[in-house]
Amino acid sequence: MAARNVPRFLHSFSKPTATDDVFLRLVEGQGATVVDNRGKRYIDALASLWYCQVGHGRAEIVDAITAQAHRLQAFHTFERFTNDPADRLANELAAIAPMEDARVFLTSGGSEAVDTAIKLARVAHFVAGEPERTLVISRAPSYHGVTFGAVSATGLPLNQLGFGPLVGGVAQVPHDDLDAIDAAVEANGGPGTVAAIIAEPVIGAGGVLPPAPGYLQGLRERADRYGAFLILDEVICGFGRMGAWFAAVRYGVTPDLVTFAKGVTSGYQPVGGVLVGRAVRDRLEADPDFLLRHGTTYSGHPIACAAAVANLRVIRDERLAERADPIGDRLRAGLEKAVDGERVLSVRGEGAMAAARIDPEGPSAIAIRDEMLERGVIARPLGTDVMAFCPPLVISDDQLDEVTGTFADAVLALSR
């Protein structure tokens, strides 16, 4: 029987039976705050969904969108067609890519970007005469998206539950175990079957888990050893979040493919994509008659690309990447004050990301999130025992202190 008062809008990651009164109706935003339709103001401590690097209400980006909409609103980029904003964005991204001489494939978001990276890795081996190289090694926990390729690579079993057969040729290993990669290779036909290893530099929705020292370098070494490509999923980590344009730079690792989205536009328009390094390019470009039969309708959408170019300019001009570590340090220091070994167990993170681990026997992260919402702060529960924070890179120190103080107050209120 259908639930009463359910909205026509079927929300993502939400109960289909959720009624209208469950949802917060946001109507405006400025800087690190958003406002609902009742006039209540909230500090956005997750940059919406890990992406609003430059904050809300940036007129520079709105003006760029408007100006482009008055010129060319939309046109596809298949075959012989292109447009100035798409070319400009690709050039700018290639200039800041964490590998030399990259090209850029554009999509509408992160899930499409991950699907694209997997397909590019496999087809690059195919055109090089190694069609048997189809195995993709991913990690658990990890989050790579919700399209079938992306969710197949995702190391969160609940996100896969009920959707039937997933994309084959994916082996998952523990996120912190390099030896498990070797075992997975042997269990799946040996080195000649491996197409790629995919990893988030800092695991995001899987729990905000930074890599152990040397781990990402270990992934690079394994990829080279097995003749595979290294894909870094920087959908969350990119564009200043880790104190550099890409986390690969922070950790001193050179990938073959980089997936990106979110922070490339700060969410003002839907853009994602893949940075394609020389190792993959050389194979795709070796045969002048090879046709890449992959693409999305809105790849290189001119309005979306204009927004991205304007957003990158703000990040660059305001040197927002330099804000990441000070934000993260203050955020984690504030959260540490709530650690008591009973209700709040520990704090972790890297760059401008943080998470507090909560006692699974106490109030859940979901309940704490709801209490924080009542007090005017938006954070994100990951499961029931982790609360995640990833604020805009324009957030003030006072706002950061309010975020951490509100978290502590919410935990205390629910523990009485």
pLDDT of residue 371: 98
Q: What is the pLDDT of residue 361?
A: 94
- pLDDT given at position 416: 75
Q: What is the mean pLDDT of the chain?
A: 97
Torsion angle (degrees, nearest 10) of CA 322, 317, 58, 33: 20
Query: Predicted confidence band at 367 (pLDDT cuts at 50, 70, 90)?
Result: very high
Return the SS3 of 53. Answer: coil
**What are 309-336's pLDDT values in tens digits?**
999 999 999 999 999 999 999 999 999 9
Structural contact between residues 42 and 377, judged by C-beta atoms closer than 8 angstroms: yes
Q: Is 365 helix (H, G, I), strand (E, B) or coil?
A: helix
Distance CA(287)–CA(111), nearest Å, equals 29
Between helices 302-317 and 84-96, what is the axis angle to 10°?
40
Check residue 308 and give its pLDDT: 99
Check residue 4 and give its pLDDT: 73
Q: Report H helices in 254-396.
A: 278-284, 302-317, 324-336, 365-374
Query: pLDDT tens for residues 80-95?
Result: 999 999 999 999 999 9
Q: How far is the C-alpha of 20 from the C-alpha of 333, rounded, in Å?
A: 37
> What is the percent of the chain where pLDDT is above 90?
98
Q: 3 pLDDT exceeds 70? A: no
Where does residue 208 fall: left (phi above 0), alpha (psi -120 to 50 degrees), or beta otherwise? left
pLDDT in tens, 243-267: 999 999 999 999 999 999 999 999 9
pLDDT at 239 over 80: yes
Compute the distance between CA of residue 75 and CA of residue 52 in angstroms, rounded to an integer.
26
